[in-house]
Structure 1
Amino acid sequence: SGRILYKGEDITRLSGRALKAVRRNIQMVFQDPYTSLNPRMTVGDIIAEPFEIHPEVAPKGDRRRRVQELLDVVGLNPEYVNRYPHQFSGGQRQRIGIARGLALNPEVIICDEPVSALDVSVQAQVVNLMERLQDEFDLSYIFIAHDLSIVRHISDRVGVMYLGKMAEVGSDVEIYDHPTHPYTQALLSAVPQPDPEVRERRERIILSGDVPSPADPPSGCRFRTRCWKAQERCAQEVPLLAVPERFAGRDTPAAHPSACHFAEERDVV
């Protein structure tokens, strides 16, 4: 249900050629590089498959060259076109997935936990590659992840979600250094801190209770059953995602949208 707005247009209402054109501009990199590549297809065929749907991007006689260019762009040997996915490591497979996502020269790439299945050292390589490609191809990413350090590293704008609803939205500095929603504050307080002196000063927020079912969320504010600020109003009234009244019109990083009736700034060490 709902709408998906892309450049101000609700793309859920599109069909036929109009929808096909939008799909070309919005591509995806999947979470698991071990299951998102067809084991029966060569790397060349996997990366070239988008050209079968959008032949105007690359004529048949030019596809092999284009595939080799994409392999080179993501840091793989262009001569690997005839190899199969099982002949690559996890990090290399994810690079193949990224090359496939780049094939149609999209404007937006949706990255669904693109590094969570990889070793930490490989994660850094893939994230650095994605940052380079973002600059090189003028891409926008929708980067979905649970790893808060990676989110901060790669994101310009951050949205924190709880039970399918946006809890807080702002720049990376606003969210990480000036959180106003209790859920965001609790999340950030749980981030591992290697510095023992900083760890000593940090106030850890321990949430009580279990996460409710997304299929049957609580009334009012969805976070209220685990929130230490919850009052009667929270059970009756759904909080709007808006700049809190106490910060409205003020030149402060805390003046960013937060879906909380009692939003307030809290230092997160």
Structure 2
Amino acid sequence: MNLLKAVYSFVALGLLFSCSDEISEPNVDNHQSIFLKKTNSQWNENDLYQVKSYQIRNLKKIEHSNSFKLEEGLLIEAISEKEYESANQNKYRHYLKDTLALVKINKSIHIEKTVLTDKFSKNGSSEFYNYLGYFPILNQYLVRGEYLDSLDYKMIDKNSGQIKQSLVSYPIISQNANFITVCKTNEFENLTYFEIYNYENGLYKNAFRAIFTNWRVVDFEQHAFWSKDGIFYLKVDRMNNEESSEETFLKITLN
């Protein structure tokens, strides 16, 4: 099913990889994926499609003990820096860094009825919140939460103070705000978590999730963007082995 037609049927919500209980094994074989499009990249394009797990459409969990090819959902292409920079001229960033709009008072950020307070306890747990900016197209604030061993990015409605979404990385919003993309690399395991959310009935719901094994994202907040052509662009390091990597640029198209 074409992803752009399918995303409107998604009903699953949650943080990264909080999956359905239903588990199915992928059909792993050696045939060439029909979604792969060869380009003049300097490595085997198949490497970009190696994933540890992915979810699509109804978000049933798909896992395998070894990495396998992503065969639906996205078209991933390696591109030149020149092509990347050309697309970068037409990027969309619905974001205002008006960091003085919400000032922390007594270690707390107040947004209507929502109060986010910095906390430090003797057992080592902690919470620290930092207001980052505002998305006018969504009428939502962005607040980063930093904890003992994790962080999240909260999208909070300006009028109600309701936390609309809690994401694992800085969110990149598409031109008409129908998609949000987040991406984060676990440096200890060299695994890259990639998610796309689709807007439906006032909320963003998961449309696609994957854990990629052969590339890691480079400064997602600064270098990733949706362009006017409806394609998502980002900068990555392609991992040749545990000790070396190769910087490149990717464009990702929804299939």
What TM-score does the superposition give when structure 2 sets the normalisation length?
Answer: 0.27
Q: Quick one: higher RCO (CA 8 Å, sep 6+), 1 or 2?
A: 2
Instruction: Indicate the structure (1 or 2) with the bigger Cα radius of gyration.
Output: 1
The structure where helix makes up a greater share of residues is: 1
User: Normalising to structure 1: TM-score of the pair?
Assistant: 0.26
Which structure's residues are more often strand, by fraction?
A: 2
